[in-house]
């Protein structure tokens, strides 16, 4: 009996010990699972409170790196620029900056030119990168896209250089001609000849200054502040009258046709200047004894009808390589001919800006030796008021087929 009691006591003690050991093992397992591992520290790093919210509202591309250079947080813009690929920072100079900042805690900034992804044309993406420590283990990288800012700066520099060149040409000519007049004071024929040249250069200088003023005005003024329904027939008549003298001198016939009683919505002065520039170019670049036609029609487009005003000439035409650039400021297809006709290279730039600011566009169809057709598309007054105000469309939905106005130019 004593032996059985002893065996039972030993068994009870053994069971109790087994239970205690099992419980301790379970608790130890839970604690071990809860303890952060080296891998979890790299993949599940926690941003300091509020940082995630701040990064989400920044305009810059943001990337947060941990001590193993893994990406903890990256904005969608960072992926779009190609900065992050496969969970890693893909730009080696930026990665080296992050490592240096993590080592010494200093803030660093650099401007880089990165290859643009997907274009295949070798275009560079200009960016400014700034690296700063974020807490004790993380590094913050902010990247600003400077490409558009650099493009605008280049345009500004080119514009200033072109203006300076264009102004110096007539001013220098006037200076030389005035000296020639003084030297030829005793020669009436020479004085008359030089004075005539002075008048030509003075007219060219006046036209250049006026077009610079016009370009500045259309860029700074909102045409919709003084917008009103404008009759297309009146715009066409004014444009024809503006170039009538030059056309008569060259025996060029100007004819108007198309749909009548159309109205567009916009600033009358700017629209008149734009259409006048198109007609004036058509006359200036057409040979003698040819025709220039201006025709208008209504076309259907999503969001409201558009009015097309086409100016067609039988001139020298435009080479294919120059069609994309003719709307640039001061760009000329034939500089020598432009000087002969008094062109400044600003007329088409003004037309393009006026069309865009009115919610429309201007397109060109041209064949060398056969002529050109410039088509101005603008919102119709009846249906295009809101469309022009909000700039919701540029009329690009309409096919760019040539509108040759056969009823005007047979």
Q: What is the pLDDT of residues 29-76, one digit of tens each?
A: 445 444 443 333 333 456 777 777 777 777 788 899 888 888 888 888
In whole angstroms, how far apart are CA 338 and each of 301, 341, 346, 347? 36, 5, 11, 12
Q: Which tokens go with 379?
A: 């919102």
Q: Over the stretch 321-365, which tens digit does the pLDDT of each residue have?
A: 777 778 877 766 665 555 555 556 677 888 888 888 888 899 999
Cα–Cα distance for residue pair 360/380, rounded to 1 Å = 10
Q: Of 180, 195, 220, which residue is a domain's last?
A: 220
Specify whether 210 is located in the same domain as 284: no
Asked whether residue 208 is domain-assigned, the answer is: yes
For residue 114, the domain's CATH number is: 3.30.450.20
pLDDT value, residue 43: 39
User: 93 versus 381: which is more confidently predicted?
Assistant: 93
Predicted confidence (pLDDT) at residue 234 exceeds the cutoff of 80: yes
Q: Over the stretch 103-122, which tens digit does the pLDDT of each residue have?
A: 888 999 988 888 766 544 45
For residue 387, the domain's CATH number is: 3.30.565.10
Closest to 148 measured CA to CA, from 50, 29, 59: 59
Q: What are phi and psi of 361, to 5 degrees?
A: -160, 165
In whole angstroms, how far apart are CA 170 and each of 198, 213, 256? 9, 17, 35
pLDDT value, residue 251: 92
In whole angstroms, how far apart are CA 34 and each of 10, 23, 101, 317? 36, 17, 32, 78
pLDDT value, residue 383: 52
Asked whether residue 103 is domain-assigned, the answer is: yes
Q: Of 145, 173, 205, which residue is a domain's last?
A: 145
User: Considering its fold, how many domains does the chain have in total?
Assistant: 3
Specify whether 340 is located in the same domain as 379: yes
For residue 173, the domain's CATH number is: 1.10.287.130
pLDDT value, residue 32: 44
Specify whether 228 is located in the same domain as 311: yes
Cα–Cα distance for residue pair 25/342, rounded to 1 Å = 96
Specify whether 129 is located in the same domain as 86: yes
pLDDT value, residue 17: 58
Cα–Cα distance for residue pair 350/370, rounded to 1 Å = 25
pLDDT value, residue 59: 77
Cα–Cα distance for residue pair 133/107, rounded to 1 Å = 7
Specify whether 172 is located in the same domain as 294: no
Specify whether 106 is located in the same domain as 134: yes
pLDDT value, residue 172: 85
Specify whether 388 is located in the same domain as 316: yes
User: 80 versus 250: which is more confidently predicted?
Assistant: 250
Q: Over the stretch 280-314, which tens digit does the pLDDT of each residue have?
A: 989 988 899 999 999 999 988 877 789 999 999 98
Specify whether 243 is located in the same domain as 378: yes
Cα–Cα distance for residue pair 310/273, rounded to 1 Å = 15
pLDDT value, residue 35: 45
Asked whether residue 113 is domain-assigned, the answer is: yes
Mean pLDDT of the residues in the chain = 76
Specify whether 385 is located in the same domain as 279: yes
Asked whether residue 22 is domain-assigned, the answer is: no
Decide if 117 contacts 82 (C-beta within 8 A).
yes
Specify whether 70 is located in the same domain as 166: no
User: 397 versus 251: which is more confidently predicted?
Assistant: 251
Q: Of 220, 239, 274, which residue is a domain's last?
A: 220
Q: Provide the residue range defining the domain that includes 244.
A: 223-410
Closest to 287 measured CA to CA, from 258, 251, 236: 251
Specify whether 77 is located in the same domain as 187: no
Specify whether 287 is located in the same domain as 187: no
Asked whether residue 205 is domain-assigned, the answer is: yes
Mean pLDDT of 139-168: 79
Predicted confidence (pLDDT) at residue 5 exceeds the cutoff of 70: no
Q: Over the stretch 244-262, which tens digit does the pLDDT of each residue have?
A: 988 999 999 999 988 888 9
Asked whether residue 11 is domain-assigned, the answer is: no
Which residues make Cβ contacts (< 8 Å) with residue 191, sequence separation at least 6? Answer: 181, 184, 185
Asked whether residue 136 is domain-assigned, the answer is: yes
- Crossing angle (nearest 10°) for helices 268-284 and 188-220: 140
């Amino acid at each position: 009996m004593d032996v059985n009691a002893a065996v039972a006591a030993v068994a009870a003690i053994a069971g109790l010990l087994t239970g205690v050991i099992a419980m301790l093992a379970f608790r130890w397992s839970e604690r071990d699972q809860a303890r952060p591992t080296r891998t979890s520290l790299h993949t599940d790093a926690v941003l300091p409170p509020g940082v995630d919210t701040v990064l989400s509202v920044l305009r810059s591309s943001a990337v947060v790196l941990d001590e193993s250079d893994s990406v903890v947080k990256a904005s969608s813009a960072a992926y779009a620029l190609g900065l992050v690929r496969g969970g890693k920072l893909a730009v080696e100079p930026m990665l080296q900056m992050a490592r240096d900042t993590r080592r010494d805690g200093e803030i660093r900034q650099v401007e880089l030119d990165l290859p643009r992804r997907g274009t295949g044309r070798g275009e560079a993406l200009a960016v400014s990168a700034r690296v700063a420590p974020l807490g004790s283990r993380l590094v913050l990288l902010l990247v600003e896209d400077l490409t558009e800012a650099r493009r605008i700066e280049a345009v500004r520099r080119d514009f200033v250089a072109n203006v300076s060149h264009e102004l110096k040409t007539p001013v220098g000519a006037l200076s030389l001609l005035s000296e020639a007049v003084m030297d030829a004071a005793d020669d009436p024929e020479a004085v008359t000849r030089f004075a005539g040249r002075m008048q030509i250069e003075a007219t060219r200088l006046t036209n250049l200054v006026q077009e610079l003023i016009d370009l500045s005005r259309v860029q700074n003024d909102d045409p919709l502040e003084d917008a009103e329904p404008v009759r297309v027939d009146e715009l066409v008549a004014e444009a024809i009258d503006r170039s009538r003298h030059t056309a008569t001198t060259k025996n060029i016939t100007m004819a108007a046709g198309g749909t009548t009683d159309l109205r567009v919505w916009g600033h009358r002065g700017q629209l008149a200047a734009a259409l006048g520039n198109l007609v004036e170019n058509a006359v200036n670049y057409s040979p003698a004894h040819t025709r220039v036609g201006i025709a208008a029609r209504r076309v259907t487009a999503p969001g409201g009808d558009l009015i097309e005003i086409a100016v067609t000439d039988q001139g020298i035409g435009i080479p294919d390589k120059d069609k994309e650039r003719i709307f640039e400021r001061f760009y000329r297809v034939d500089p020598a001919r432009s000087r002969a006709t008094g062109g400044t290279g600003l007329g088409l730039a003004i037309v393009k800006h006026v069309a865009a600011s009115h919610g429309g566009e201007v397109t060109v169809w041209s064949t060398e030796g056969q002529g050109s057709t410039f088509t101005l598309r603008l919102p119709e007054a009846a249906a295009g008021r809101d469309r022009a105000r909000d700039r919701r469309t540029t009329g690009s939905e309409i096919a760019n087929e040539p509108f040759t106005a056969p009823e005007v130019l047979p």
